[in-house]
């Protein structure tokens, strides 16, 4: 019997697992915001009064970092209840009471799920640390982008990150071999889209989609977002060693809600 394809339910179960909870909770407590994240926020979200919705908040690393930068209108959600509990605990430890945390799925979220009246809109959206790319299936990733579009006012910025399979020369041979396998019908049956990858690391089992730049541009166009800026993290800032230990280089994206 062939193994089933990666699903959102499997990804949620992995994020709720003990290795993942410990991994992301440590980062939330000890790593905080990256310099590249601070730079992007300062450039594309300079108003501290912005009404922000943060998708995939996890254990609260970015969420609490936003609060500590001075943002005070933050609504954060995640589909992994165990991680969300850690985010709430981190905020409580720091005596932060103004962040609204919600349990919601980015592919289904609406204003009601976030405690907002129908038609209520945010002034900015975030989906950082490759959260969007951990949604299996391109239609589902586009669905999440459309949901965020519906939650935001026209002109609102969206900041998110992805990997980029065309950027790292060391990965070129691997992706060429993968392309030949897919063309020959020998792909891993658990994977949905070319660019999907699954592996095991310190956070437990991981699913992630690694796109190229053209794919993301097409997804933004299809979901009502206008690309505004993109660059690799290594091009933006010199990060401390702990950031490299936590994450490979990734591409930062800024888009504007049409």
What is the secondary structure of 181-214 as a DSSP string?
A: HHHTT-S-TT--STTEEEEEETTEEEEEE---HH
* Averaged pLDDT, 222-242: 97
* Averaged pLDDT, 221-242: 97
pLDDT of amino acid 1: 52
The verdict on residue 141 lying in a domain is: yes
Show the domain range for 47.
8-165+172-257
* Averaged pLDDT, 197-204: 94
pLDDT cut 90: percent of the chain above it: 95
CB-CB neighbours of 98 under 10 Å: 10
* Averaged pLDDT, 41-58: 98
Task: Give the domain CATH number at 102.
Answer: 3.40.50.150
The verdict on residue 28 lying in a domain is: yes
The verdict on residue 151 lying in a domain is: yes
The verdict on residue 2 lying in a domain is: no
Residue 133 is given by DSSP the state G
Give me the number of domains the chain comprises: 1
Q: Is the pTM of this model over 0.95?
A: yes
The verdict on residue 1 lying in a domain is: no
The verdict on residue 49 lying in a domain is: yes
Closest CA to 142 of 62, 220, 243: 220
The verdict on residue 3 lying in a domain is: no
Question: Please, are residues 52 and 74 in contact by the beta-carbon 8 Å criterion?
Answer: yes
The verdict on residue 225 lying in a domain is: yes
Beta strand ranges found along the chain (DSSP E): 51-55, 73-78, 100-103, 124-127, 157-162, 196-201, 204-209, 225-232, 251-257
* Averaged pLDDT, 184-193: 94
97-153: pLDDT as tens digits: 999 999 999 999 999 999 999 999 999 999 999 999 999 999 999 999 999 999 999
Compute CA 20 distance to the chain's CA centroid, rounded to the nearest angstrom.
15
């Amino acid at each position: 019997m062939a193994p089933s394809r990666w699903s959102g339910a499997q990804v949620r179960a992995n994020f709720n697992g003990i290795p993942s909870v410990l991994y992301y909770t440590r980062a939330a407590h000890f790593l905080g915001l990256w310099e590249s994240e601070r730079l992007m926020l300062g450039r594309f979200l300079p108003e501290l009064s912005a009404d922000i919705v943060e998708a995939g908040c996890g254990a609260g690393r970015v969420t609490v970092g936003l609060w500590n930068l001075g943002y005070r209108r933050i609504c954060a959600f995640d589909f992994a209840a165990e991680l969300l509990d850690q985010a709430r605990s981190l905020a409580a430890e720091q005596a932060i009471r103004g962040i609204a945390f919600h349990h919601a799925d980015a592919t289904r979220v609406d204003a009601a799920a976030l405690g907002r009246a129908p038609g209520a809109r945010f002034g900015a959206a975030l989906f950082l640390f490759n959260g969007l790319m951990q949604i299996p299936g391109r239609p589902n990733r586009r669905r999440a982008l459309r949901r965020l579009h519906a939650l935001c006012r026209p002109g609102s910025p969206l900041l998110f990150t992805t990997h980029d399979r065309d950027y790292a020369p060391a990965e070129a041979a691997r992706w060429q071999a993968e392309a030949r396998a897919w063309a020959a019908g020998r792909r891993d049956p658990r994977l949905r889209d070319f660019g999907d990858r699954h592996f095991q690391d310190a956070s437990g089992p991981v699913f992630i989609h690694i796109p190229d730049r053209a794919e993301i541009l097409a997804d933004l166009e299809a979901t009502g977002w206008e690309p505004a800026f993109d660059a690799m993290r290594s091009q933006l800032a010199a990060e401390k060693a702990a950031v490299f230990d936590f994450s490979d280089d990734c591409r930062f994206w800024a888009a504007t809600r049409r």
